[in-house]
Structure 1
C-alpha cells in the first residue's frame, strides 16, 4: 500500500463499491493486475514489451491525472523543489518496477516472475519489523527463489535478474511513495509520478518500436495497451483504495500475499504456461514468507 492510497482511503468512500466486501475488492484488484500482465505478455509477439510499458504508464497518467485534475493544478502551483523531487523519485521507482517486470516476462513464466519480484516488498516488511522471526521468513522466501532458479524448465538467468530488479523497484517505490505521500496530497503524487515514469521509459520504448517497425503500432494493439494500463494500474488502485477504508493494513498485506498464486494461475489458464510441482511449492513458500513478514510488521 502506498501513502497516497492511505491518504485517499481516509478521505472517503468510492460510490458503488461500499457494499462489496473489502476482501473481495482486494482479490479482484489482484486479479485485475495479473490479467493485465497476462494480456501484456500475450502481446509480446506483436508489440515490443518496452512500448507496452509506455502505453500502460500513459494510460495511468491520463486517467489518474483526470481524477485529481483540480487538486493537481493547485499542488503544482504551490509545489516546492523538494515536493517535485519526491514525485520524481516515485516516478523513477515506478519506471524501474514496470520496465523490469515486463523484460522479465519475456524470459520466464508470469507466476515465477511475480514471485521473485515479491522479494522487494518482503525485504521492506522484514526491515520494518526487525524481529528475529522475520529472518526465518526471509530465509524461507530466499529458499523458495533458489528452488525456482534451480528447477530449470522455463527459468533462465536474464528472467530472474530482471525480476529481482523489478523487486528492487518495488521496494524503492514503497519508500518513495511514503515520502511523496508526506508532501503531496492524495493521488496527485501518483499522477505526477506516472508522467515522470512515462518520460523515463519513452526512449527505450521508442527504440524498441523503431527496431520492430512503426507498422506494428496498429489501433487494435494501442487499444489493448490502454486495456493493460486500466487493468494493471487504474482498476486495482481504485479497488484497493476502497478496501483500505474498511480493513487493517496488516490484513490487506496478507491478502496481497496471494498475488504470486494468482499470477501463476493466470499464466496457466491465459498463457498456457506450465509449472512443475517444485515451482508451485516454491511459490507457496514465498507467499507464506510474505504473509508472515507482513503480519509481524503490522503487529
Structure 2
C-alpha cells in the first residue's frame, strides 16, 4: 500500500496530487472490472447505491490523502489520519483494557505526527480531512461487507461467494467514483504523453487499492469493527519505514517513541467477539 504511495509522490511532479489519486481510482476500476466482471444483480438496487457511496468516499479519502502527502512526510500524514479509526475504536470499546489500548495508540499517533501547524496548515487540514473520511470509510465498508455476506447466505460456499460479492461491489464503486470525479483528470495531462508514467499511475491503483482491498474482503468478516481499527495502528509503522526507504524521510526521536507506543497499544488490545468487518485505510 505505501509502496504505491511512494510511487505516487514521485508522480506529483508530473500531475496534481488529486490527478494522481484519480489515476489510482481509474487503474483500480479497470483491473477490478476486468477481473470480477460483476453480474447484472450487482448493478441495481440497494447494493448498487451502497457500492457507489463506498467508492466515492474511498476516492475522496484518497484525494485528501495525496494532497496531504504532497505537503507533509508520508509517516506523519498516516499518523494524523489515524485519528479517524481511533475514534471508531473508542466508540466500540467495551473494557478498561480496550480503552487503555486506544489511549496508548492515540498518544503514539500524537508523538509520531509531531507536526507544527505553521509548517503547512493546508497539509494538516488535508490530513485531518482524510482522517474524517477514513472513519466514514470504515462504517461504509462494514455495510458493504455485511451486505455481501447477506446476499450470499444460504448458498454452498457462502464465504467464497461473499468475498466475490464484496469484490464486485468494490469494482462498481471505483468505476462510479472514476466517472463522478472525472474533472480531476484535467490534472493528469502530462502523464498521458508518457507510457511509463501512465503505467506507474495504473500500478499505484494495483499496489494501493486492488491488492490490499481484495485481501480485506477475505479477512474482514472475521474481525470486529473496533478491533480492526486498532490493528490498523501498525500502519504508521509501515508508512514510516516506506517513507524512510523509498523517500529518504528520516523519523525523529518523538516519532520513533510514538511508533513503539502504537505497537504497544496493538499488543494490549483485548480480543472480542467478531461483530462485523471494517475496511482498509487510504495509502
TM-score (norm 1): 0.74
Question: Which blocks of at least 5 consecutive residues in structure 1 are unaligned?
Answer: 1-32
| Structure 1 position 193, deviation (Å) | 1.1
Measured in 1, the distance between the counterparts of 2:58 and 2:3 equals 19
Measured in 2, the distance between the counterparts of 1:282 and 1:127 equals 22
Q: What is the aligned counterpart of 1:196 among 176, 180, 194?
A: 176
| Structure 1 position 198, deviation (Å) | 1.7
Measured in 1, the distance between the counterparts of 2:93 and 2:66 equals 30
Measured in 2, the distance between the counterparts of 1:39 and 1:294 equals 36
Output aligned runs, 1:90-129, within 5 Å: 90-129=54-93
RMSD: 3.0
Contact 1:115-1:283 at 8 Å conserved across structures: no
Q: What is the aligned counterpart of 1:59 among 23, 27, 34?
A: 27
Measured in 2, the distance between the counterparts of 1:298 and 1:155 equals 41
| Structure 1 position 133, deviation (Å) | 3.7
Report the equivalent of 1:14: none
Q: Residues 291 and 43 (structure 1 numbering): CA distance in 2 closer, same or farther, change over 3 Å?
A: farther
Contact 1:122-1:294 at 8 Å conserved across structures: no
Q: Secondary structure at the match of 1:125?
A: helix
Q: Secondary structure at the match of 2:47?
A: helix
TM-score (norm 2): 0.77
Measured in 2, the distance between the counterparts of 1:262 and 1:146 equals 16
Report the equivalent of 1:231: 207
Q: Residues 162 and 182 (structure 1 numbering): CA distance in 2 closer, same or farther, change over 3 Å?
A: same
Measured in 1, the distance between the counterparts of 2:262 and 2:39 equals 38
Measured in 2, the distance between the counterparts of 1:117 and 1:183 equals 27
Q: Secondary structure at the match of 2:166?
A: coil
